[in-house]
Structure 1
Amino acid sequence: MTTSKARRERGFTMVELIIVLVVVGILSAIAFNRFFSRTGFDAAGFAAQVKATLRFGQRLAIAQNRPIYVYLDATSVALCYAATCSSTNRVKDPGGGNSFNGTGQCSTDRSWACVAPPANVTLVLSPASAAHNHFYFDAAGKPQLNTGAEFSSLNLLVRAGDDQQPIRVQWETGYVY
């Protein structure tokens, strides 16, 4: 009896080891893709950049008591001092360099307050004609269309695969969230 008791306490059986290995294999196959996928991080990071750029534009409009124009498209979000955004009236990036990725509106000017999404991230305006792809913050920080009209709210959506990060600009206060 002592021999059979000692035999049972020595370790795991081969069946138990195989079951554990199969379970660990299944869990790692499922968790590996979620753990090492960059799409969620890229979407969240770009959404944070867009929010920071919009907030900077609003604060700059209030601080300098002048309108700051925001240009939006699928390839970038940019800030300018005038309705016609040229190289002479671009808002300088407060950090000294933008997220230039070689395409879109940001061009090659790295000092411009312009952010571009990573390769696997897209920026969608909702509705597509919202703000006619640009608007401005007036000296009070309130968003306006170029015609001077107010809009109810501007909805942006940052997409990367299945991950979506919504961004809104409220019309009355210019609050970006």
Structure 2
Amino acid sequence: MSASSTERGFTMVELIIVMILVGVMAAYAVPKFAAMTNLSQDAWRDQVKSALRYAQKAAVSHRRLVCVDISGATITLQIASVNGATSCNTPLDGPGNAGSFGGSPPAGMSTAVTPSGTIYFQPDGRATLMNSGIHTTSGRTVSMTGVLPLQLFGETGYVQ
């Protein structure tokens, strides 16, 4: 046997130092990933809020009915083609005529409106609900997973 043979591998000190470094990096990175998830949820809430406000302002400025449909995965805006119509039949372009306004929440996040159904913004800005073919003023709550709900006040169309 030769006395000059070398053994390969890591020493215990090297392994412990690497484990400590990985632990410190994980402690720093995990909160960043959680914050990124919260940001995407907040962004969806802000998008729903801005869509509702945009719909209300578009109804007043165009003097037409604007319809908002919010499901668990999408939000779509439509506008009536003529003043005095009781339903919407044309997609509402987004700000700056940027195409159809809509979007979807991050994965795992759902959205629900209470009471359910299409939100109708009247030309005077009120938010209404269709009951037996008649528009009645109705406040709404828009609930989303992981964030505070939005309140829509029927008489004014204000979103909070």
Tell me, yes or no, whether TM beats 0.5: yes
Over 3 Å counting, the alpha-carbon distance change for 1:133 and 1:34 in structure 2 is farther
Secondary structure at 2:156 match in 1: coil
Q: Percent identity?
A: 23
Instruction: Check whether the contact 2:60–2:125 (CA below 8 A) recurs between aligned residues.
Output: yes
Runs of 4+ in 1 over 4 A off after TM superposition: 24-31, 83-86
Distance 2:28 2:88 in 1: 46
Q: Give the structure 2 partner of residue 133 of structure 1.
A: 117
Alignment of 1:31-50 (within 5 A): 31-37=28-34, 38-50=36-48
Partner residue in 1 for 2:155: 172
TM-score normalized with structure 2 length? 0.71
Q: Give the RMSD, CA atoms, in angstroms.
A: 2.4
Please report how far the alpha carbon of residue 72 of structure 1 lies from its aligned counterpart in structure 2 after TM superposition: 1.3
Q: 1:171 to 1:29 in 2, by over 3 A?
A: same
**CA drift at 1:136:** 0.7
Distance 1:57 1:140, change over 3 A: same
Q: Which runs of 5+ in 1 are unaligned?
A: 1-17, 98-110
In structure 2, distance between residues paired with 1:174 and 1:145:
12
* Count of residues in Structure 1 that have an aligned counterpart in Structure 2: 134
TM-score, normalisation: structure 1: 0.65
Asked if structure 1 preserves the Cα contact closer than 8 Å seen for 2:67 and 2:120, the reply is yes
Q: Relative contact order (alpha carbons < 8 A, sep ≥ 6): 1 or 2 greater? A: 1
Asked if 1:150 is matched to 2:151, the reply is: no
How does 1:1-177 map onto structure 2 within 5 Å? 29-37=26-34, 38-82=36-80, 89-97=90-98, 111-125=99-113, 127=114, 130=115, 132-146=116-130, 147-151=134-138, 153-159=139-145, 163-177=146-160
1:96-140 residue CA offsets vs partner (Å, 9 max, x unmatched): 55xxxxxxxxxxxxx211121122322122x3xx1x320211111
Instruction: Say whether the 8 Å CA contact 1:42–1:121 is kept in structure 2.
Output: no
| Runs of 5+ consecutive residues of structure 2 not aligned to the other structure | 1-15, 81-85
